Amino acid sequence: MVDRDRDEYGKARNSRPRDALGRPLPHGSRGVARIPEDLDLSPAESLTYAQDLLDQGMAFHAHEVLEAAWKSGPDDERGMWQGLAQLAVGITHIQRGNTAGAAGVLRRAADHLDEVNRPAPHGVNVDALSTYARAVIGDLERDIGIDADRLRPRLTRTT
């Protein structure tokens, strides 16, 4: 049986280092800084941090920030945060070369964002992000390349 990393409650964790695209590296390798599992930020801080990570090309890490907000946010905002986290996962799949996986996750992201009441909380630009996701899906389906600059969508109207 494989000995797994566990937290103080016995929950399995993966403490292996990861590369900039979130792929696990061998134990002992030098990876990029991890997002803490107990991240607790305000919505504004989460959006700013996730945007900074997206701008650095670190969509997997942005996903972890947005997922923390999704899991800790109020029930009426969870669909929005889930859509944002899925958007970052879709971008991660593109960065890793998995276009089929990217299209599926981006479609779910757009569907979640389409269901958010308007105006969206915290200045999230759900209309532009849903449109962005669907445009990227269309380009992936037509085998049109997506350059790195296009993988940095603006999460809010003010950033």
Instruction: For residue 75, tell me if it sits in a domain.
Output: yes
Question: In terms of residue numbers, what domain contains 144?
Answer: 43-151
**Cβ proximity of 64 and 89 under 8 Å:** no
CA distance 96 to 100: 11
In this structure, are 53 and 87 located in the same domain?
yes
For residue 105, what is the domain's CATH number? 1.10.3450.10
Q: Do 77 and 100 fall into the same domain?
A: yes
Q: Do 74 and 13 sit in the same domain of this protein?
A: no
| Tens-digit pLDDT profile for residues 101-122 | 999 999 999 999 999 999 999 9
Side-chain-facing half-sphere of 95: CA atoms under 13 Å? 23
159 located within any domain: no
pTM of the shown model: 0.88
In this structure, is residue 158 part of a structural domain? no
**Same-domain pairing of 50 and 27:** no
Structure confidence at residue 1 as a pLDDT band (50, 70, 90):
very low
Same-domain status, 27 and 78: no
Residues 86 and 131 in one domain: yes
**Statement to judge: residues 11 and 53 lie in one domain:** no
Q: Looking at this protein, which amino acid is placed at residue 115?
A: E
In the chain, the number of structural domains is 2
SS (H, E, C) the chain: CCCCEECCCCCEECCCCECCCCCECCCCCCCECCCCCCCCCCHHHHHHHHHHHHHCCCHHHHHHHHHHHHHHCCHHHHHHHHHHHHHHHHHHHHHCCCHHHHHHHHHHHHHHHHCCCCCCHHHECHHHHHHHHHHHHHHHHCCCCCCHHHHCCCCECCC
Does one domain contain both 79 and 98?
A: yes
Give pLDDT tens digits for 17-63: 898 888 898 988 898 888 888 899 999 999 999 999 999 999 999 99
Residues 68 and 62: beta-carbon distance below 8 Å: no
Say whether both 98 and 74 belong to one domain: yes
| Token pair for 91 | 């971008």
Mean pLDDT estimate for the chain: 91
Asked if residue 121 belongs to a domain, the reply is yes
- On whether residue 156 sits in a domain, the answer given is no
22 and 63 share a domain?
no
Query: Are 93 and 118 in the same domain?
Result: yes
